Amino acid sequence: MTRGRKIIAVMVAAMGPLALVILAKIPLGGALWVGAGTAVLMVLILRPVRPATAKVAAPVPVRQGSNAAQEVLGIIPDPVIVVGAQERVEFANPAACAIYPGFERGILLSLLVRHPEVLAVAGRARMKGLLQEVRFALRRPSERFLRVMALPLKAGRMALIFQDETELHRAEHMRAGFLANVSHELRTPLASLSGYIDTLSGHAKDDAAAQERFLAIMADQAARMGRLIDDLLSLSRIEMDAHLAPKTQVDLAAAMGDVKDALTPVFTARGVEVNMEPPSGPVYILGERDQVIQVIQNLIDNAVKYTPKGKSITVSINPDVIRQSPEFDQKALGETVPRLQIVEAPRDPGQRFAVLEVRDPGPGIPAEHLPRLGERFYRVEAGKTAERTGTGLGLAIVKHITNRHRGGFSVQSQPGAGTVFTVAFPLMLSQNLGTE
């Protein structure tokens, strides 16, 4: 009860009996009882009324270091350290102990944390009494990029909260590298085009034979830029849908036939024979038709590109292979030739795949290059004619499409032994879904 309310109640208790004695001539004893009763009534009436929700909403004080808080700090993946008076560490959660294993209660911060950036930011936060932050790199056990915030608390305490920005850093690094690669790839044909434009408008102005030759080269370079842009757009479309596995039924055997029809003039022009070994009937996979065709086309295109004139490549389909069977990982070129999974097929029990195989008797790829196949713009040997016509994106596109299809992609190769690329597509097991 507030002070004001107390005074009113006392006045009623004192003045009431006096008035009754004087005005109503009531005996003093009875008047005192009436006064006391009225005062109690006044206290009850004047009592502050709490809102109905007050009980529910009453805040529960959170004790520092309470079990719930400790439990949360124990499971969050971000490292947290609490520093007390004289720079002694009071608390470090398990994530913090993983990067600073020397934690024991009361240890000096500078003995636990050896990174000068972290100690400096803690010092600044203490001096200014304000949140300070800094980014720094951890070299061991593996390279990680962290942001640390030093947050002054009550009673001279301070919290150091770390955030792992390694993924962000990596993505940023990849984006920058990708942009540098794209500009480099576009700059080469562009430089060649502008060089020929200068020549045509300069000393070749009146040389009809030179003009014809240069214009053909310029057309080639322009076509190369067009291919590069097409491939980049394909990649970005595939990446945008990467999380959506295709749900439609595609006949892999029919797709293989379509590619053969489309590419026959190219095989003929290059003088390479292509042996297609189609399965006896349709092979239904879960896929997106255009992307399945792109996979077959890119692999055949490479095989033809790297195969010497007069030789032949083979394209076949194994229509039904169980993931767990040894057949799935078989080495088509023999046990001694290295084989590498570029995309590992899911190991779901009972999952069955149709496996496309493209085999060529070309130069083969040295073992040290196999792990990098599928990286954008990665070429085994720069400078050869075949490499100059390619974009360096063909296998990256196959890798991304296989990933999206939840399939597998592998290569077996060795200089002198030729190359075999295989792509496994998940079989469509229910026939209830409609075709594309």
Give least dist CB 80 to ligand ADP, A: 45
Q: Select 79 or 374, whichever has its Cβ closest to ligand ADP.
A: 374
Give least dist CB 119 to ligand ADP, A: 47
Gap between the Cα atoms of 308 and 87, Å rounded = 72
DSSP H stretches of helix in 28-142 = 28-46, 54-57, 67-75, 94-99, 109-112, 116-128
Give least dist CB 378 to ligand ADP, A: 6
Gap between the Cα atoms of 79 and 73, Å rounded = 8
The verdict on 94 binding ligand ADP (CB under 6 A) reads no
Give least dist CB 359 to ligand ADP, A: 9
Give the number of residues in contact with ligand ADP, rule: CB under 6 A: 20
Gap between the Cα atoms of 427 and 407, Å rounded = 10
The verdict on 409 binding ligand ADP (CB under 6 A) reads no
The verdict on 379 binding ligand ADP (CB under 6 A) reads yes
Q: Select 6 or 237, whichever has its Cβ closest to ligand ADP.
A: 237
Q: Select 133 or 387, whichever has its Cβ closest to ligand ADP.
A: 387
**Which range, of 17-25, 37-45, 335-343, 393-401, touches ligand ADP by CB under 6 A?**
393-401
The verdict on 391 binding ligand ADP (CB under 6 A) reads yes
**Which range, of 21-29, 273-281, 331-339, 383-391, touches ligand ADP by CB under 6 A?**
383-391
Gap between the Cα atoms of 385 and 306, Å rounded = 10
The verdict on 361 binding ligand ADP (CB under 6 A) reads no
Residues 295-354 that bind ligand ADP (CB under 6 A): 302-303, 306
Selected binder of ligand ADP within 403, 414, 419, 422 (CB under 6 A):
419
Q: How far is CA 372 from CA 377, 379, 399, 417, in A?
A: 10, 9, 12, 19
Helix or strand run (H / E) with residue 217:
helix 208-240
DSSP H stretches of helix in 154-207 = 166-201
Please, are residues 362 and 307 in contact by the beta-carbon 8 Å criterion?
yes
Selected binder of ligand ADP within 16, 152, 246, 362 (CB under 6 A):
362
Q: How far is CA 231 from CA 35, 385, 392, 398, 435, in A?
A: 97, 19, 9, 11, 27
Please, are residues 281 and 323 in contact by the beta-carbon 8 Å criterion?
no
Gap between the Cα atoms of 289 and 251, Å rounded = 8
| Site of interaction with ligand ADP (CB under 6 A) | 302-303, 306, 360, 362-363, 365, 373, 378-380, 387, 390-396, 419
